[in-house]
């Protein structure tokens, strides 16, 4: 009998299925309580009009090559200049996805002999970037500035002489809580460290003109921020913002950037228009915050703690029960997804309820009632 070359893969998937952790792609259906389209821009008339205008201007859909070959388009440069002004940094660099930007950042900027201290709940893309990089790395307790300081001090005591890098998200994608950025910036200053803030779930939603939660510490020479364009901005891509040396070094040494086809110039144009829309329509995030407060009140009657943001986790614990409840909500017409390990820690499987401008108060009320019934039945 010939053994399948994929026997190990089949066994791995079977193991995931036994733990109610096997994933599968599913089409979108039902009211949107799952997406990161927080400001309802992805399918908006405004972005459709901007796309039409970009096509009318003859902006190409494809770049035709990497940025260092013929792929560098005027629209890439225009977006990066606009983003640097908008986010208060010296320079910006556009990537096709947030994952690509995080991977390039952590694979390229921290050098051999440096230390990356990351929040224990940081994005998977940061972990993958660190694995490609040459620096040592250490996990710090979630949202605990002293834990970051202690990790750096312990590394120095062992003889570490390089640069420490502090890596956090400003708003965590599965818990919805915020990082203590001012305290972390103070730790970075005391230890001559660079603070890296992933603003993926805060961009467009918080700060003046949607600048994010790090806007109060913008412009520092030891700050790098990452702004995802595929969430509240309703587009695709990511903008890495920081000192000019960050842009220059990645352009010269960042293999994920150097050897990748450049993002679509048309998308660069569209992101620039999205930044303008968010800056000129403060009523969008204001309306979102109203919906968040309403959702916290309604879900609070079920014992769901308020996260203080548009990401509201309903922690169930058991994988199978989580998926049964998610299935019941989906059957009732609500797109709510179950999140299981390893995306979240073991024993904390949850429903990730995302509040967006694609729903209203009535939708939230019916969701809460349906959730109560589903939790009782499961």
Q: Which of 123, 191, 215, 227 is catalytic?
A: 123
Mention every residue, 6+ apart, whose C-beta is less than 8 A from residue 261. 63, 64, 65, 66, 71
User: Does residue 283 carry a catalytic annotation?
Assistant: no
Domain limits, CATH 3.40.640.10, in the chain: 59-280
Element at 337 (helix H, strand E): strand 337-339
In this prediction, residue 378 carries a pLDDT of 84
Mention every residue, 6+ apart, whose C-beta is less than 8 A from residue 69. none
User: Does residue 169 carry a catalytic annotation?
Assistant: yes
Written as tens digits, the pLDDT of the chain (378 aa) is 668 899 999 999 999 999 888 988 888 889 999 999 999 999 999 999 999 999 999 999 999 999 999 999 999 999 999 999 999 999 999 999 999 999 999 999 999 999 999 999 999 999 999 999 999 999 999 999 999 999 999 999 999 999 999 999 999 999 999 999 999 999 999 999 999 999 999 999 999 999 999 999 999 999 999 999 999 999 999 999 999 999 999 999 999 999 999 999 999 999 999 999 999 999 999 999 999 999 999 999 999 999 999 999 999 999 999 999 999 999 999 999 999 999 999 999 999 999 999 999 999 999 999 999 999 998
User: Does residue 123 carry a catalytic annotation?
Assistant: yes
Q: Which of 32, 114, 119, 198 is catalytic?
A: 198
In this prediction, residue 1 carries a pLDDT of 60
Domain limits, CATH 3.90.1150.10, in the chain: 26-41+282-377
Q: Which of 86, 201, 215, 227 is catalytic?
A: 201
Q: Which of 32, 75, 80, 169 is catalytic?
A: 169
**Which CATH class name applies to 26-41+282-377?**
alpha beta
In this prediction, residue 273 carries a pLDDT of 98
User: Does residue 36 carry a catalytic annotation?
Assistant: yes
User: Does residue 231 carry a catalytic annotation?
Assistant: yes
Contact 125, 180 (CB under 8 A): no
C-alpha 70, offset from chain centre? 30
CATH of 59-280, one of 1.10.760.10, 3.40.640.10, 3.40.50.10140, 1.10.260.40: 3.40.640.10
């Amino acid at each position: 009998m010939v053994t399948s070359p994929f026997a190990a893969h089949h066994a791995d998937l079977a193991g995931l299925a036994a733990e109610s952790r096997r994933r599968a792609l599913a089409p979108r259906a039902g009211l949107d309580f799952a997406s990161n389209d927080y400001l309802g821009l992805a399918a908006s008339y405004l972005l459709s009009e901007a796309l039409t205008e970009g096509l009318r201007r003859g902006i190409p859909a494809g770049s035709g090559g990497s940025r260092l070959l013929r792929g560098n388009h005027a629209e890439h440069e225009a977006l990066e200049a606009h983003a640097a002004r908008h986010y208060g940094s010296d320079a910006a660099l556009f990537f096709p996805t947030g994952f690509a930007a995080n991977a390039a950042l952590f694979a390229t900027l921290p050098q051999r002999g440096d230390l990356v201290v990351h929040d224990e709940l940081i994005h998977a893309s940061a972990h993958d970037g660190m694995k490609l990089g040459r620096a040592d790395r250490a996990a710090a307790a979630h949202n605990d500035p002293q834990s970051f300081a202690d990790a750096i001090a312990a590394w120095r005591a062992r003889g570490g002489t390089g640069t420490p890098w502090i890596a956090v998200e400003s708003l965590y994608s599965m818990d919805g809580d915020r990082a203590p950025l001012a305290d972390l910036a103070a730790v970075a200053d005391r230890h001559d460290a660079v603070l890296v803030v992933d603003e993926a779930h805060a961009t467009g939603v918080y700060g003046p003109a949607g600048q994010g939660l790090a806007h109060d510490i913008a412009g520092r020479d030891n700050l790098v921020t990452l702004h995802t364009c595929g969430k509240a901005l309703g587009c695709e891509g990511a903008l890495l913002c920081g000192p000019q040396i960050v842009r220059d070094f990645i352009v010269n040494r960042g293999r994920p950037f150097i050897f990748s086809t450049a993002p679509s110039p048309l998308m660069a144009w569209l992101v620039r228009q999205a930044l303008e829309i968010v800056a000129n329509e403060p009523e969008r995030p204001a309306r979102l915050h109203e919906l968040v407060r309403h959702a916290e009140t309604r879900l609070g009657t079920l014992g769901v703690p308020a996260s203080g943001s548009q990401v509201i986790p309903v922690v169930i614990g058991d994988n199978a029960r989580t998926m049964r409840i998610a299935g019941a909500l989906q059957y009732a017409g609500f797109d709510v997804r179950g999140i299981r390990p390893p995306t979240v820690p073991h024993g904390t499987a949850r429903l990730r309820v995302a509040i967006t401008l694609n729903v209203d108060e009535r939708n939230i009320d019916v969701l809460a009632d349906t959730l109560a019934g589903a939790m009782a039945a499961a």
